[in-house]
Structure 1
Amino acid sequence: MLGYMDYVQKSFYLATKWDEDNSYANLNATARALLDFPTPKGLKMNVSSLSSPNFATSYTMASLGVVDGSVSYLYSSRSLDNVLNSGAVELKDAVIGYRDLKEIVKPDDPRDWEIWKGGVRVDRRDTLLYGRMYLPASTLEALYLRRLAPTRQLKISAVSNSRLPNGGTILALLQQNNGKWCTEYLYSTDVALIGMRGLYNFGFDPRKALPKTSLSDHRKIAGRFSAGMEVYYGMLNKSGGVSTGFRYTTLPSNTGSPLTMTLTINPLMGHFQASYAVKAGKNSVFCSRYDFNIYSYESDLVLGCELWRRKQTVSAGVTEAENTISETWQPDSFSTGGEKEEDVTGVLKARITQNFNIGLLWEGRYKQLLFSLGSNIDLKRREQPFRTVGIEIQYNS
């Protein structure tokens, strides 16, 4: 389940028209969401509130042998009227699952962000501030996010903990995103790391005007191919790295099954990773990921799926006895006839590795509460196959 502060940050991106999926860092976001989902351990409760359109608070308490928790605060200069409480938010917005990428659009003109009063420019750039204190460990994490321009954003995150080298670390990230391509420049105080990464989308450029016929042809394009690269170097440990990646994903105009394919390669480490995710139906997603190292010949295969449970109603025109509401699993069918698609009532996630480690997660809503119930199972440990079992409950007002 998406944490409340992560949900608020996502709402900030939507309000300020920032496409977080158009980034090399999120190239494999779909595979990670379907195969690397965390399962709760023990009991965890989260109570959050948007006390005003600009200010949010969240309190977390967990029990796993010992009791610990956290307190977090968030401020946004942009009013976040699109943030909903746990009883109103749609599960598809609260659950991390298959990423349906949208068409890239032309960024706003910088002049559209200007506000003038009496010949004086009075506009201010949108800013998000976030802080979280973990107790009793007294670990502190913070985030500073500022929109510098329609195509540019600055993101600074920090962690303070006495157990970390130098007492903590700071990561600064400058992002430039104009739709057609996105570049990011980063610096981390940890080993004085500097780096650059970029993502390029082939095909249509939203910044260039097209004739009406060309625009009509573009809207018929069913998929988008992207390629990216990352280079980084640690000045203190005198070591660096490089990776490259490719992604093909279908777009909303696609009439077939939505799918996403990715391939990432790290030539220095001799490692490559390939993933394939497909929506087999309206309520089911299947994903596979294969890792291989050409130096050690080690490999890893992970399979996973995501099943959505929907509430369906029968439209008018049928007998009164048939006009009932039912909750059914329909992993391979699409809405047909008089059925009307309603909100998602639950999501079941499952994964299995080649070592027979199984992860199960059920996410849903009970009245005004969001919950996640999950377990990790090791089939090789027949005496105690359940490694972890837990439940997480969220209430957002």
Structure 2
Amino acid sequence: MLDFMDYIQLAFAEATNWNRDNSYLSLTTTAQSILDFSTPERLRVRVSSLSTPHFATSYTLGTVGLLDGSVSYLFSTVPLHNTPSRSALIPLRKISPGYRQVYPPIAPVQSWGWDSLLNGVGIPGLKNGPASKFPTRKDDEQTVDEAAQRKATLLHASLQLPSPTTLYALFLRRMSPTTQLSLAVCSTRGPPLSNSAPQASMLAQLSHDTGKYCNEYLFSTDNALFGWRGLWNFGPDPRVTRDDAPPRLSLLSAGAEAYYSPVSSLIGMSTGLRFSTLPAATEVPSPSSTSTPPTPISTFPYTLTLTLTPITGSLSTTYSLRASPNLAFSSRFGFNVYSWESEMVAGCELWRRAKKSTSPANDDLEWARRKMRLHDFSASLPGSPPPTPPLPSDPVHPEPVTGSETDDSEANDSVIKLRIDQSWNVRLLWEGRVKELLVSAGVGLGPGSFSLSPSLSSTASGSGSTQSGGGAPSYWRGVGVSVMYSS
């Protein structure tokens, strides 16, 4: 389950129309959400609040060995009016990531009012992207929300306690419709009796997204590391696509990343492919004049990925399938061409929506209504004529619930995630809503640790049996519960 501050950052990206999925970093997000989920450790309690549309706070207390916790603050210049902040109203599918449906790329919003050298210049066939929700006005006529949209900035700070104390800070600024700047700082202070200076590092990232492609340039003060990530979407350019063009059925994307450090002579490189069906592929087309009934192009949405790290010789493939709106499967197979190490992981997620009973005869207050009828002199006795129909405003006989109210009662969402690898290590996670609390409970079982190499798992299990005096190794890897409340 995502942290409350991560959820607010997702809301900030949606409010500023920034596509977080059009990045090489999100190439394998669909499989990672199902296979690489983490289970809580011991007991952890989170209390958060979006006190104003611009300011959010979060406090965390955990019991992992010793008591630990964190204090976080977030400020956004963009008002988050339409963001549900109460834990009873937050959509569980947003705060508990699962199968992620890939959508066709769109052109960035160009009508936010930034000054440009091309203002007033018409380019044939070039689209300006989707229109902004605010009309274009002069600078002296702009409202506060319009000015905030143009100067979209996010500030986030988090302090981890106790020692070693870690301070994390984030500065995010939307510089133009296609450019975003991010500065992240991490500083760790040593033990109280240590005289060493705090260790700090900064990561700067400049992202440029046009819809057709996305480039990200990175620099880290840790060993003076330079990096680049890029993603290219095959097919028509969303900036020049005609409005009457048929919807796309699939999307093929290719990306790569490279890193280099002149201080430590460190070189890193990887590349990958992703093929995914789009929502239009599973829709039933309109019937034609032929006798053959229309059928969708694809029965189920699915995503295929292939990633390669040439320097280390690692190759990984994933296949994710959404069998129904509430059921998804995913698998991953990876191996190293320079050794015998391999990895095979399979997982699934099952969503459940429990409908509350809307019948007055089945609710928890029926026993009280029966007692009230004993003292109701207007109630009919046995053998007497039937009473007149109750008025609509009668509190004892409420009106039947309409369809819209029935949809609102479907608030008890929950999800079960299961993951197993080639060493029979199992992770089981349940996340759901209990009253007004978001609860996450998980357990880990298996003969070895969750490592990529089966040899490491056998070594860990062997050492565990030796330390226990030659007895049977323990298959219990840990259990934890996390509770979150937000207002």
4+ residue segments displaced more than 6 Å: 119-122, 320-324
CA offsets 1:138-191 (integer angstroms, 9 cap, x no match): 210111111011111001111101359971211110000111110000001111
| Partner SS for 1:89 | coil
| Partner SS for 1:253 | helix
2:171 matched to 1:81? no
Provide the residue aligned with 2:25 in structure 1: 25
Larger Rg: 2
2:161 matched to 1:130? no
Provide the residue aligned with 1:389 in structure 2: 479
Write the distance in 2 (CA, Å) between the matches of 1:21 and 1:117.
32
Cα offset, 1:268, TM superposition: 1.1
Matches within 5 A, 1:63-82: 63-82=63-82
Question: CA 1:119 to 1:33, structure 2 compared with 1: closer, same or farther past 3 Å?
Answer: closer
Question: CA 1:343 to 1:205, structure 2 compared with 1: closer, same or farther past 3 Å?
Answer: farther
Question: CA 1:265 to 1:322, structure 2 compared with 1: closer, same or farther past 3 Å?
Answer: farther
> Is the 1:314–1:322 Cα contact (8 Å) retained in structure 2?
no
Cα offset, 1:25, TM superposition: 0.8
Write the distance in 2 (CA, Å) between the matches of 1:120 and 1:371.
43
Write the distance in 2 (CA, Å) between the matches of 1:391 and 1:125.
40
Cα offset, 1:110, TM superposition: 5.2
Q: Is there any run of 5+ residues in structure 1 with no aligned partner, and where?
A: 325-338
Question: CA 1:116 to 1:3, structure 2 compared with 1: closer, same or farther past 3 Å?
Answer: same
Question: CA 1:27 to 1:344, structure 2 compared with 1: closer, same or farther past 3 Å?
Answer: farther
Provide the residue aligned with 1:309 in structure 2: 352
Cα offset, 1:209, TM superposition: 4.1
Q: Give the residue type in structure 1 aligned to 2:99.
A: Y
Provide the residue aligned with 1:191 in structure 2: 223
Question: CA 1:314 to 1:257, structure 2 compared with 1: closer, same or farther past 3 Å?
Answer: farther
Provide the residue aligned with 1:333 in structure 2: none
> Is the 2:256–2:269 Cα contact (8 Å) retained in structure 1?
yes
Write the distance in 1 (CA, Å) between the matches of 2:433 and 2:140.
51
Write the distance in 1 (CA, Å) between the matches of 2:141 and 2:154.
28
Provide the residue aligned with 2:93 in structure 1: 92
Cα offset, 1:30, TM superposition: 1.1
Question: CA 1:111 to 1:282, structure 2 compared with 1: closer, same or farther past 3 Å?
Answer: closer
Matches within 5 A, 1:299-338: 299-312=342-355
Write the distance in 2 (CA, Å) between the matches of 1:179 and 1:236.
35
Write the distance in 2 (CA, Å) between the matches of 1:242 and 1:223.
27
Question: CA 1:340 to 1:134, structure 2 compared with 1: closer, same or farther past 3 Å?
Answer: closer
Write the distance in 2 (CA, Å) between the matches of 1:47 and 1:175.
32
Write the distance in 1 (CA, Å) between the matches of 2:236 and 2:439.
41
Q: TM-score of the superposition, structure 2-length normalised? A: 0.72
* The one of 341, 346, 358 aligned to 1:298: 341
Q: Give the residue type in structure 1 aligned to 2:157.
A: G
Provide the residue aligned with 1:223 in structure 2: 250
Provide the residue aligned with 1:334 in structure 2: none
> Is the 2:232–2:253 Cα contact (8 Å) retained in structure 1?
yes
* The one of 407, 415, 424 aligned to 1:356: 424
Provide the residue aligned with 1:346 in structure 2: 414
Write the distance in 1 (CA, Å) between the matches of 2:257 and 2:447.
38
Question: CA 1:28 to 1:71, structure 2 compared with 1: closer, same or farther past 3 Å?
Answer: same
CA offsets 1:66-104 (integer angstroms, 9 cap, x no match): 101000000000001132111011111111111112222
Write the distance in 1 (CA, Å) between the matches of 2:27 and 2:241.
28
> Is the 2:259–2:268 Cα contact (8 Å) retained in structure 1?
yes
Q: Is there any run of 5+ residues in structure 2 with no aligned partner, and where?
A: 116-136, 191-195, 283-298, 364-405, 449-460, 462-471
Write the distance in 1 (CA, Å) between the matches of 2:42 and 2:78.
36
Cα offset, 1:116, TM superposition: 3.2
| Partner SS for 1:176 | strand
Q: Give the residue type in structure 1 aligned to 2:441.
A: L
Provide the residue aligned with 2:302 in structure 1: 259
Write the distance in 2 (CA, Å) between the matches of 1:82 and 1:102.
22
Moved more, 111-120 or 277-286: 111-120
Matches within 5 A, 1:201-216: 201-210=233-242, 212=244, 215=245
Write the distance in 2 (CA, Å) between the matches of 1:373 and 1:119.
51
Provide the residue aligned with 1:288 in structure 2: 331
Write the distance in 1 (CA, Å) between the matches of 2:69 and 2:100.
30
Write the distance in 2 (CA, Å) between the matches of 1:211 and 1:86.
40
Cα offset, 1:384, TM superposition: 2.6
Identity of aligned residues (%): 43
| Partner SS for 1:224 | strand
Q: Give the residue type in structure 2 aligned to 1:18.
A: W
Provide the residue aligned with 1:178 in structure 2: 210
Provide the residue aligned with 2:317 in structure 1: 274
Q: Give the residue type in structure 1 aligned to 2:189.
A: S
Question: CA 1:286 to 1:344, structure 2 compared with 1: closer, same or farther past 3 Å?
Answer: farther
| Partner SS for 1:191 | helix
CA offsets 1:11-61 (integer angstroms, 9 cap, x no match): 000000001011001111111111111100110000000110000000000
Q: CA RMSD in A?
A: 2.6
| Partner SS for 1:18 | coil
Provide the residue aligned with 1:328 in structure 2: none
Q: Give the residue type in structure 1 aligned to 2:307.
A: T
CA offsets 1:274-309 (integer angstroms, 9 cap, x no match): 011101122111110111100012101111110111
Write the distance in 2 (CA, Å) between the matches of 1:271 and 1:171.
26
Write the distance in 1 (CA, Å) between the matches of 2:105 and 2:218.
24
Question: CA 1:358 to 1:106, structure 2 compared with 1: closer, same or farther past 3 Å?
Answer: same
Provide the residue aligned with 1:331 in structure 2: none
Provide the residue aligned with 2:102 in structure 1: 101
Question: CA 1:390 to 1:211, structure 2 compared with 1: closer, same or farther past 3 Å?
Answer: closer
| Partner SS for 2:280 | coil
Cα offset, 1:311, TM superposition: 2.8
Write the distance in 2 (CA, Å) between the matches of 1:120 and 1:394.
39
> Is the 1:314–1:340 Cα contact (8 Å) retained in structure 2?
no
Write the distance in 2 (CA, Å) between the matches of 1:209 and 1:274.
32
Write the distance in 1 (CA, Å) between the matches of 2:112 and 2:477.
56
* The one of 183, 195, 206 aligned to 1:156: 183
